Amino acid sequence: MAKSRVDLLEEITPDVERLFNRHMEAPRLWYPHEQINWGEGENFGEHPWSPNDYPLGEGVRSSIYVNLLTEDNLPYYTDSILEHSPRGHPIREWTYQWTMEENRHAMVMRDWVHISRCINPTLLEDGRRVQMQKGEVPHPATFAELIAYVSFQERATQIAHRNTGAKLPKDDRIGRNVLALIAGDETKHYLFYRDLTLAAFAIDPSAMMIAVSKQVSTFAMPGTGIPSFTRHAVRIAKEGIYGLGQYLGDVLTPVLSLWDIEHLKGLTKEAELARIDLVNVKAKIAESVERMAQKAAMMKSPLGVR
């Protein structure tokens, strides 16, 4: 029998404290207001936004738009995480620290976006209103599922911010720096949740295998409440910023291998079945990525379909 949520939370307390302390030993103290060149800003009333203000590929614009709106949606992510962070447990203090750090991401990104004019501010604000009125975020059912989900999600956002920054023009040093700072925070969040999940595997491998398997088969990038999310997601993938290939190569593969999914011993029958499902889902994703790569190669080839 898998242990109950309360047992795992109780037994993982020392690991939460250890990883929280590790996080705090290397503080990342940076000030959103210091990252921006305010003198470059212009009023939108006098100078309405135009795409020529900051020429950029549509996939990169989509990525900035989706990533910023996802950061805006923080209150609902915090709500979802607090559901599994009981008062008096150190995970609660961690969640407050996490929220404090996450909160500066939308701040600094929006300042940069408005000063640099890299995306349409009206479209952005319309998107923010629509998305935040929905409060649509995943609500993992248990603490085990939550830490598995957040591990993947933090890694995915780290990759998305990092790859977006790499697509900005070389001379936008401010934009590159802003996205690198955010990606740096996401890296530390990822390490916390990844290693907490590793500790949870040591406590209750069967419950964790079932939780991870479920999260992998249902994982989607955050942002489903964003208007035209699918259209943006396709553009972002086409640009090579974040798609199925990155999910497989940069998220699933390193995270699952660190948790040593394939060699875990002592699983219950149900957990063994979950492991088989997990391996199958990963193999199916790998097949899709391979098919997409072949298709892309054919499109590029002079003999291929155009």
Of the candidate residues 23, 61, 105, 162, the single one contacting Fe ion (CB under 5 A) = 105
**At closest approach, how far in Å is the CB of 170 from Fe ion?**
24
**At closest approach, how far in Å is the CB of 153 from Fe ion?**
8
Contact between 193 and 151 under an 8 Å Cβ cutoff? The reply is: yes
Alpha carbon distance 214, 84 (integer Å): 17
HEC readout, 127-165: HHHHHHHHCCCCCCCCHHHHHHHHHHHHHHHHHHHHHHH
Of the candidate residues 15, 72, 102, 111, the single one contacting Fe ion (CB under 5 A) = 102
HEC readout, 223-243: CCCCCCHHHHHHHHHHCCCCC
**At closest approach, how far in Å is the CB of 291 from Fe ion?**
31
Whose Cβ is closer to Fe ion: residue 183's or residue 252's? 183
Interface mask toward Fe ion for 150-169; x: CB under 5 A: ----x---------------
Q: For the chain, how many residues are written?
A: 306
The span of 84-92, 96-104, 219-227, 253-261 binding Fe ion (CB under 5 A) equals 96-104
Of the candidate residues 84, 189, 194, 232, the single one contacting Fe ion (CB under 5 A) = 189
The span of 168-176, 186-194, 247-255, 292-300 binding Fe ion (CB under 5 A) equals 186-194
Whose Cβ is closer to Fe ion: residue 105's or residue 235's? 105
Within residues 62-91, the interface with Fe ion by CB under 5 A covers 71
Whose Cβ is closer to Fe ion: residue 105's or residue 110's? 105
Contact between 114 and 37 under an 8 Å Cβ cutoff? The reply is: no
Contact between 109 and 31 under an 8 Å Cβ cutoff? The reply is: no
Whose Cβ is closer to Fe ion: residue 151's or residue 213's? 151
**At closest approach, how far in Å is the CB of 186 from Fe ion?**
4
Of the candidate residues 111, 186, 239, 250, the single one contacting Fe ion (CB under 5 A) = 186
**At closest approach, how far in Å is the CB of 68 from Fe ion?**
10
**At closest approach, how far in Å is the CB of 45 from Fe ion?**
31
Within residues 118-157, the interface with Fe ion by CB under 5 A covers 154
Give me the amino acid identity at 16: V
The span of 81-89, 101-109, 126-134, 209-217 binding Fe ion (CB under 5 A) equals 101-109
The contact set with Fe ion (CB under 5 A) reads 71, 102, 105, 154, 186, 189
